[in-house]
Structure 1
Amino acid sequence: MTSSSTRHADPEENPYVEEPPTDFDPIAELSPEAAERQVSLLRSAIREHDHRYYVEADPLIEDEAYDRLFERLRDLEEAFDLDVEGSPTRRVGGEPVDELATVEHVEPMRSIDNAKAAEAVREFDERVRSGLREGGFDPADLRYVCEPKFDGLSVEVVYEDGEYVRAATRGDGREGDDVTEQVRTIRSVPSRLRGEPPARLAVRGEVYMPRDAFETHNRKRRERGEEPFANPRNAAAGTLRRLDPAVVADRPLDVFFFDVLAWEGDEISGPARPATNREQFDAFDALGLPRTDRVELVEDVEAAIDYRDRILAVRDDLNYAVDGVVIKVNDRAACEALGSTARAPRWAFAYKFPPRTSTTTIRDVTVQVGRTGRLTPVAELEPVDVSGVTVSRATLHNPAEIEALGVNVGDRVRIYRAGDVIPYVPEVVEKRSSGTYAFPERCPVCDAPVERDGPLAFCTGGLGCPAQLERAVEHWARRDALDVEGLGPERVEQLREAGVVESLPDLYDLTVEDLAGLEGWGETSAENLIDALEATREPPLDRFLAGLGIPDVGPTTARALARAFGDLDALLAADEAALREVDDVGPAVAASIRDFFDAEENREAIEALRERGVEPRPVETPDAAGDDASLEGLTFVFTGSLSTTRDEAQALVEAHGANATSSVSGNTDYLVVGESPGRSKRVDADAEDVPVLEEADFADLLADHGIDWPPEDEA
Structure 2
Amino acid sequence: MTATAQAAARATELREALDQHNYRYYVLDEPSIPDAEYDRLFRELQAIEAAHPQLVTADSPTQRVGGAPLSAFAEVRHEVPMLSLGNAFDEQSMRDFDRRVREGLDLPAGDLFGGGAEIDYCCEPKLDGLAVSILYEQGQLVRAATRGDGSTGEDITTNVRTIRNVPLKLRGKDWPDVLEVRGEVFISKAGFAALNERQREAGGKTFANPRNAAAGSLRQLDSTITASRPLEFCCYGIGRVDGALPETQTAVLEQLREWGLTISRELKLATGVDACLAYYEDIGNRRADLDYEIDGVVFKVNALAQQRELGFRAREPRWAIAHKFPALEEVTELLDVEFQVGRTGAVTPVARLKPVQVAGVTVSNATLHNMDEVARLGVMIGDHVIIRRAGDVIPQVMQVVPERRPADARPVVIPETCPVCGSAVERTQLVKRGKGGQSVSEGSVYRCVGRLTCQAQLKQSIIHFVSRRALDIDGLGEKIVEQLVDTGLVSSPADLFSLTYEQVIDLEGFAELSTKNLLSAIQDSKRPTLARFIYALGIPDAGEETAKLLARALGSLARISRALPEVLVYLPDVGLEVAHEIHSFFADDHNQTVISQLLDRGLELQEEGNVAAEFAASVSFAEFIARLNIPHVAKTGAERLANAFGSLSALIAADWLELKQVERFTDKAQQSLLAYFRDDEQREQALAIEAQLRDFGMHWDSPKAEVADDQPLTGQTWVLTGTLETFSRDVAKEHLESLGAKVAGSVSAKTHCLVAGPGAGSKLTKAEQLGVTVWDEAKLLDMLREQGIQP
TM-score by length of 1: 0.47
Higher relative contact order (CA 8 A, sep 6+): 1
